[in-house]
Chains A and B, each alone.
Chain A
Amino acid sequence: MNSVRSGSHPVRLEQDVVLARQAVRKLAQECGLRLVDQTKLVTAVSELARNTVVYGGGGEMDWEVLEDGPRKGIRLVFRDEGPGIADLKLALTDGWTSGGGLGLGLTGARRLVDEFDIASTPGVGTRVTIVRWN
């Protein structure tokens, strides 16, 4: 698996969530993802980028275009240095929310991508990695 190119976007303000969605839509189109797969990835990005802003106090979205033989994919890492998540298992339960949301952000995003990984340390921060292949 090769990394073709990569970059990073700030995810600090509400408007950055919109910019992150638009940036990933462009990458997804370049990678030849079908429209429905683009939509799933962009929706996952919206959920995760919002989490980074609202719960993580802002952070970064690192992006990477991957090549694995004929397959192309996009890997995204959302990282913040916020308070972290004390109980990951609980956070990954449908309908559970620490804020005023629907509790579908993390679990919903997980369902919309091919690979999902989350690491969080209380007091240090959170890092969510997703991959979507074409």
Chain B
Amino acid sequence: MERIPILRMGEFLLVTIQVDMHDQLALTLQDDLADRISATSARGVLIDISALDMVDSFIGRMISTISGVARIMDAETVVVGMQPAVAITLVELGLTLPGVSTALDVERGMNLLRTRMGRA
């Protein structure tokens, strides 16, 4: 089955979405991430969406769900790299991703996760 790879780096999990996802692939990623958080006791999840040229309500919901599930499992999620056109479209669509942390790029996202870990 087609899957989006999840990389482990210390206590963080990294996901880079580089394909135009169909819905089932997005749902699989959602489930896989929950499993990996549990299996690795990860404290943070970084999702890089810089290669996505579109985020619709389905993908937006997937991002919110991942973030919510991760939080319940004691892990923080940061979404990084959203293209400006995607951000503009998301807001107009009516999706503001409440409760989802974002950063402009991977480096800032990693810093954000580390800062949060430091506070904990």
Interface residues of A (CB under 8 A from B): 14-15, 17-18, 21-22, 25, 35-36, 38-40, 42-43, 46-47, 50, 94, 101-102, 104-105, 107-108, 111-112
5 A-B Cβ contacts within 8 A? A25-B53, A40-B92, A43-B93, A102-B57, A104-B95
Which B residue's beta carbon lies closest to that of A103?
A: B57
Whether, in the assembled complex, B41 has its beta carbon less than 8 Å from a beta carbon of chain A, the answer is no
Whether, in the assembled complex, B5 has its beta carbon less than 8 Å from a beta carbon of chain A, the answer is no
Complex contacts, A112 vs chain B, CB 8 Å: 89, 92-93
Q: Are B20 and A21 in contact (CB under 8 A)?
A: yes
Q: Are B95 and A102 in contact (CB under 8 A)?
A: yes
Q: Are A39 and B93 in contact (CB under 8 A)?
A: no
Main secondary structure of the interface of A (DSSP, over half): helix
Q: Which among A17, A39, A102 is the interface contact of B85 at CB below 8 angstroms?
A: A39
Which A residue's beta carbon lies closest to that of B84?
A: A36
Whether, in the assembled complex, B61 has its beta carbon less than 8 Å from a beta carbon of chain A, the answer is yes
Q: Are A107 and B94 in contact (CB under 8 A)?
A: yes
Residues A43 and B24 in contact in the complex (CB < 8 Å), given A36-B85, A104-B93: no
Which A residue's beta carbon lies closest to that of B64?
A: A102
